[in-house]
Amino acid sequence: MSKRDYYETLNLARNASEAEIKQAYRRLAMKFHPDRNPGDKVAEEKFKEAKEAYEILTDSRKRAAYDQFGHAGVDSSAGGGGGGYGGAADLGDIFGGVFRDIFGGVRGGGGGQYRGADLRYTLDLTLEEAVFGTTAKIRVPALVSCASCAGTGAKPGTKPTTCPTCRGVGQVRMQQGFFSIQQTCPRCQGRGTIIPEPCETCRGSGRVEEQKTLSVKVPAGVDNGDRIRLAGEGEHGEQGGPPGDLYVQIRVKPHPIFTREDSDLYCEVPISFTTAALGGDLEVPTLDGRVNLKIPAETQTGKVFRVRGKGVKPVRGGPTGDLLCRVSIETPVNLTKEQKELLQQFADSMEAGGKRHNPQEGSWLDGVKKFFEEMKF
């Protein structure tokens, strides 16, 4: 017999949020739970259908597979769906995933060992360091395992004891009518243990703050916003739990000459009026030396020259980028009387020649003239 659509089972649209899925499942579970419908096989089957739909649609990976391939995409990973109702589970077990979101969840299920927090460190690099790679030394403040108590939080010579409230489980069960709800133990905060005699160094936390010096190998080609993960270099977990990770965030400082866009580098190259008019050779810098740039005669401001392979080799692979040089023509300053006279003679010869020597200026003036002719006052 073919299975019903999971969204239809929960009476939901296909774009339903996780909160809407949980709410729909909670409503159906309370209605068809076998404890409320003893001996009713139809209700039991509807309960199993709702439970299976809930388990698939609240798992992002399984939901994506189901949305793309239907039941064929999740049958093997779903393990046959809801797994049936054996009679041993109660509402606290069935609703565990739902009510954990309401009551804050179980932080470790006893034992008290929780993974430490991840940390983030911003590493400033020069453009050269980002492009060619480097090894940087950083100092990071972090919570590390207390040496005095070996991370247990208990005074040396003593040890944590089982929490008498939850008996080491880390959870307590609340019974309200036919509801049986589990929540974090208020005495041990889910650890399952308490510390009668706290360590004087860490005051029972099992961790102390200290500065760590780490060596970070920065690969060539990194850019602003890239992250380098250092596994296990975050904060140590409570009660001797495993440490989190350290994420080093890359921030590249502005460069006085170059700017970067993806794998390409850009720079502004000022050239003289005579070089622009007559052409010539010009040395321009790159990050690993100099290259000769040939400026053709009659070059205009804004012309971009591409120097192949003088950009950045991307950190994730791909071809090396280029260096793009945008020229800007400088107006000469601090002219002598003789130079001004020579320039005036040059200007007079330009006007007397009868040819258009400034094409952009001429086009612009023609446009202005046409604009005024078409204006109606």
CATH code of the domain covering residue 80: 1.10.287.110
In a domain, 95, yes or no: no
Q: Is residue 114 part of a domain?
A: no
Q: Which of 252, 268, 302 is the last residue of a domain?
A: 252
Residue 292 placed within a domain: yes
| Predicted confidence (pLDDT) at residue 194 exceeds the cutoff of 90 | no
How high is the pLDDT of residue 269?
92
Look at residue 319 and tell me if it is in a domain.
Answer: yes
Is residue 275 one of the residues assigned to a domain?
A: yes
Q: Please report, rounded to a whole number, the percentage of residues in the chain having pLDDT higher than 70.
A: 80
The mean pLDDT value of the chain amounts to 80
Give yes or no: residues 59 and 173 share one domain: no
The pLDDT tens digits for 254-287 are: 999 999 999 999 999 999 888 988 999 989 999 9
What's the pLDDT score for residue 110?
38
Full residue range of the structural domain in which residue 323 is found: 259-329
Residue 145 has pLDDT above 60, yes or no: yes
100: pLDDT strictly greater than 50: no
pLDDT of residue 371: 61
Distance CA 335, CA 211 (A): 61
Task: Place 206 in a pLDDT band, splitting at 50, 70 and 90.
Answer: confident
Report the pLDDT averaged over residues 198-210: 85
Q: How many domains does the chain have?
A: 4
Task: Find the range with the poorest average confidence among 220-229, 340-349, 355-364.
Answer: 355-364
Residue 9, token pair as written in the block: 């089972």
CA–CA gap between residue 265 and residue 252 (Å, rounded): 14
Q: Is there a single domain that holds both residue 244 and residue 282?
A: no
Specify whether 349 is located in the same domain as 323: no
Q: Which residue among 252, 273, 291 closes a domain?
A: 252
Most confident region among 93-102, 159-168, 222-231 by mean pLDDT: 222-231
Q: If pLDDT is split at 50, 70 and 90, which confidence band does 309 have? A: very high
Alpha-carbon distances, residue 116 vs 206, 236, 244, 309 (angstroms):
12, 5, 5, 44
Looking at 224, 252, 280, which one is the last position of a domain? 252
With a CB cutoff of 8 Å and minimum separation 6, the contacts of 240 are 113, 145, 150, 151, 152, 206
Using 50, 70 and 90 to split pLDDT, how confident is the model at 369? low
- Any idea what the Cα angle at residue 86 is, between residues 84 and 92, rounded to 5°? 95
